[in-house]
Amino acid sequence: MNLKKSIVIECIASTPDKDVAGETLDIAGADISPLTDKRGYLNSDHNNDFAHTVGKVLEAKKIMKVEDCTTPTQLKYWQEVKKPFIWAKGELYDGVGHKEADAIASIYKFYMAKNEAPPIKISVEGKTLERDGTNLKRTLIKGLALTLAPCNRKTKSEVTQITKSMGVDANKLFKSENTASWVEVEDSPLDRLMSLATQANSLISDLKKSESAQTDVILRSPKLLENLKKLLKQSK
């Protein structure tokens, strides 16, 4: 089967901010193993039947401090929220005849073309294992809902990649400086290195403008440095 390209998103799946019900999620006490073990799925507006299961979770991580960030996107999100959060990456089932996934992908693409943030946010799903009043101290996170009406309004999602399924010739997206359209380029090691360096430089500039004391954050992230070294070796 010749699969079309599918959308990959990254997101702030949850923060400790108070939600619309007045409850707060303790990030440290959240068990996200179903997401990290690749058992988590993306659904549409908390509907978990086949028609509304629109994608799968590829990766997830609890970011408790800036040093936990190992990618430019995670660092960018930390600078936005400046508090612990759950980061996740997922892939939509678009491009293969899944109507709900195609509809969601169309919304993402519309806002990408306009260079605007999509209105699609995230609500975590699972069960509460322990609570202290309105504070959810221990939880089990089983999946993520894509929604226009999230419980926690501090969440966000965005497209960071469009890739062919089945591991065929993945292509990364780069925003053109001179046009609002998106341009696909070959996903070579040098391309990935240039993207990483550009985003890192942008983050440092933002940190300096905000007079943050953590302008050396990238240099203090060993895992990010390790990824950078691997890309340098591959580009030779």
Separation of alpha carbons 15 and 36, rounded Å: 18
CATH of domain 5-187: 3.20.16
pLDDT of residue 162: 85
Question: Which has the closest alpha carbon to 48: 151, 127, 158, 146?
Answer: 146
Q: What are phi and psi of 60, to 5 degrees?
A: -155, 155
From the centroid of its chain, how far is CA 198?
19
3-state secondary structure of 23: coil
Residue with tokens 């509304």: 52
Q: Which amino acid is at 192?
A: R
Tens place of pLDDT for every residue, the chain, 236 residues? 555 679 999 999 999 999 999 999 999 999 999 999 999 999 999 999 999 999 999 999 999 999 999 999 999 999 999 999 999 999 999 999 999 999 999 999 999 999 999 999 999 999 999 999 999 999 999 999 999 999 999 999 999 998 654 433 334 433 333 333 333 334 455 555 656 666 666 666 655 655 554 545 555 566 666 766 666 665 55
| Encoded tokens for 104 | 């969601």
| Every domain of the chain and the residues it spans | 5-187, 188-236
Q: Which amino acid is at 147?
A: T
Separation of alpha carbons 218 and 225, rounded Å: 8
Cα-Cα end-to-end distance for the chain: 35
**pTM of the shown model:** 0.72
